[in-house]
Structures are given as structure tokens and as C-alpha cells.
A and B are shown apart, each in its own frame.
Chain A
Amino acid sequence: MTMRKLRAVWIRLLGMIGAQRDDEEFAAELASHVAMDTDDGVRAGLSPAEARRQALIHLGGAEQTQQAHRERRGLPWLETLVRDFTYGLRTLGRHLGVTAIAILSIGLGIGANATIFSMVSRFVLRPAPMGDPTTLLGLHTTHGSDPCCNNFSFPAYTDLRDQAKSFSGVAAYYELIPASIGGGGQPERVWGQGVTSNFFDVTELPMVVGRGFITGQENAPEVVLGAGLWQRRFNADKAIVGKPVILSGRTFTVVGVVTPAFHSVDQILDTEFWVPLGNTR
């Protein structure tokens, strides 16, 4: 039964083409119908004019029948839709200014949404590429009734690191520090973070090349580069490890490049280099 319905819809779809010829054919069919009905009327004793009048009454109006037939032949709602659509296009074509503004604003809207989504996707939806995010905790101190997020003092951090038995390791990082990077091209301002020497071990971040810092060397003049900065300024040089980089006038030795997916622990900041925390004091 469903197949039959489908078949009917298909034929009606085809029926939208060549409607003129179908109209003529059905008009001929109706004419022959009326003629036969008139013949019968005349045979029953009516005058030809009266017989024809009766025949048309029986038919319930030739024009109405034509219309009902036409609607069954095609898919009227689809025809209307197509007509409305072409009418809409024509109207838009006539008002080019309005059309341009509409396209522009819709385009901007889509663009803005796409941008916002890609940022949300990058920072919020996609977790930071750290070894095992489920066992990684963020620690904060609270102060009075203030619910959130005060920094630890450094001694509090060292106590925690040395005495807390529930953690396999405790690392710390400090807020963003700006630095100007020179050498080999235009000087550029980049943002980095001071982190404890065990930071890359605790977070289990994969490295593109090289390694993280050596645990305990909090003042080592070493730097880990973000993959973006490495590609942009150093042409993704695989032999970068061991080379010097000058940050705000101080020379650091590159020890590693971190995976491109990593920007910061909370993914919201776009951090491009990391140095041992002692360098930022």
C-alpha cells in the first residue's frame, strides 16, 4: 500500500510537468462526458439545450471538476511552494541593496557564531591533553566566605607538595607573564607562565620534542615552548632543543616543545612558553 502511495506521489510529481497537455486532455474527456449525458437527456425527451443544462448540473460544474482534477494531477502544495520561492527570489533580485544587507548580516551572524563556537569548542568542550584528566585535581585556597580560587603562598605549596600523601605529585603555576622575544625577525610580545619544575611530570603532557624541566631545578634558565610559538618563530625546527632563546633580555635554553593541543591547564589562556617558577621571582 505504501508503495502504491509512493507511486502516486511520483506520478503527481511528474504531473507538474506538461500540465497544459493534461488540461487539454481532461477538457476533451469532460466534453465527451457532457455530450453523452446530453445524448441520454435528448433520448429521454428533453430539448437539446435543457439536456445540456442538466448534464452540466450532474457534473457539478465543469470548471470545479477541472480544478479538482488539476489538483489531484500535481502536488498543489509543492507547486505553491516553488512559486512562492521563485517569487521570493525575484523580489530579492529587485531590491539589491536590501538583499546585500540581509546577506551581509546573515553572513556576519553565521561567522560570529562559528567563531564563538570554535573558541568554546577549543577551550571548554575539548579537555586539555593531559595524561589522565580524571586523576588531575585543581587546588585552591578559600578565604573567609569567599568561595573561590585564591592562590597558595609558595610555602603553603611546598608544605602541600612534601606532606600531602594523597597525591603522587603537586605542581604549581603562576599567572601569565609577558615577555618580548627577539632574534631572527621582528621582536614580539608573547605570554608565558612560571611553573614548578615538576609541572610537566605531574600533568603528564606529551612533548613534541625534548623534555620538561628537571625536578628540583627551580631556577634553571630553561624554557619549554608552546607548539604555536615554535612553529611561528622557529619554523618547527626539530633541532631546537639546546638552542638559546632570549626572553626580555635574558637567555634561556630550550629544553622541549609541548603538544600543540595544550595552551594552559584551564585551556582558556593562550600560553606560549613555560619557565621554571624561580625565574619569575
Chain B
Amino acid sequence: MNEKPDVLQGTLALMVLRTLETLGPLHGYGLARRIEQTSGNLLQLNYGTLYPALLKLEQEGFIRSRWGVSENNRRAKFYELTKAGGRQVKNAAKEWEQTTAILARFLAPAEEA
């Protein structure tokens, strides 16, 4: 119960939703790889933490899942965005932009001085 996974979970949810929005349905492994790549490999994602986050999003109705077949012919569970999920991406993105903008104001003068 330390702080790190918590912070990660909050941002992880948005990363997942945004990735699904741009790429369409993906399985868990594909999502994990994709998030890693998008972060420019700066993010060392513990793949295991992804699944509880996916489950939470599914319980909240932002994504849904079904079994399918992967590009390499393996059975895998695919996740896709729901309509509510699409709205959530926009809301969360706006909130996040606001937060970073506010934080930027605090940090900018200190750098100039």
C-alpha cells in the first residue's frame, strides 16, 4: 500500500483509455507494450498492475472485453472503449491538462529566476 502504484493507477487509467481510443481493441499484452513504447520506454510498466486497472475500468463501464484471436493466432482477451469510455477520455484529458498547466505556472518562475 505505498504511494507509487496509486499515482500510477490514476495516470495508467488515462493511458489505457487513450491508447484504446487511438488504436482500437487491444489485448492486455498489446496494451502494455504499446504504453511502454508510447512513453518512449521511460515508463517501466509492471505488466501485472495493468490487469487490475483494466478490471476497474471495466467495472466502471468505460471499457468492455471479449475473447478473440491475436495476430499470431493466440487466444486473447481484447479490450475496447465504450461510449462512456470515450467521454471519460475527453474529461480526464481536460482535467490532466489543467493540472499540468497549473503546475507549470508554479515551476516556470523558479526556473527563470
Contact = CB atoms under 8 A, between A and B. Distances in A.
Contacts, number: 74
A37 B47 CA distance: 11
B48 A61 contact: yes
Interface stretch (A68-76, A193-201, A216-224, A269-277): A68-76
Contact of B74 (A7, A11, A32): A32
B59 A68 contact: no
A26 B54 CA distance: 12
Main secondary structure of the interface of B (DSSP, over half): helix
Interface in A24-76: 26, 28-30, 32-33, 35-37, 39-40, 58-62, 64-65, 68-69, 71-73
Interface of B: 27-30, 32-33, 46-49, 51-52, 55-56, 59-62, 70, 72, 74-77, 84
A72 B56 CA distance: 7
Contact of A60 (B47, B62, B75): B47
Contact of A68 (B28, B52, B61, B74): B52
Contacts of A7: 59-61
Contacts of A26: 51
A68 B51 contact: yes
Interface residues of A toward B: which range?
20 to 34
Given A32-B27, A59-B48, A12 B59 contact: yes
Given A59-B48, A60-B48, A60-B49, A69 B28 contact: no
A65 B49 CA distance: 7
Contact of B48 (A11, A64, A71, A73): A64
Contacts of A59: 46-48
Max chain A C-beta neighbours (<10 A), residue from B33, B55, B62, B74:
B55
B74 A35 contact: yes
A37 B36 CA distance: 13
A4 B70 CA distance: 30
Interface string A74-91: 000000000000000000
A36 B29 contact: yes
A69 B77 CA distance: 15
A74 to B, nearest CB: 11
A167 B11 CA distance: 80
Q: Pick the most buried of A7, A32, A35, A39: most chain B CB atoms within 10 A of its CB.
A: A32
Contacts of A21: none
A37 B32 CA distance: 10
Contacts of A36: 27, 29-30, 70, 72, 74, 76
A33 B59 contact: no
Nearest to A72: B52
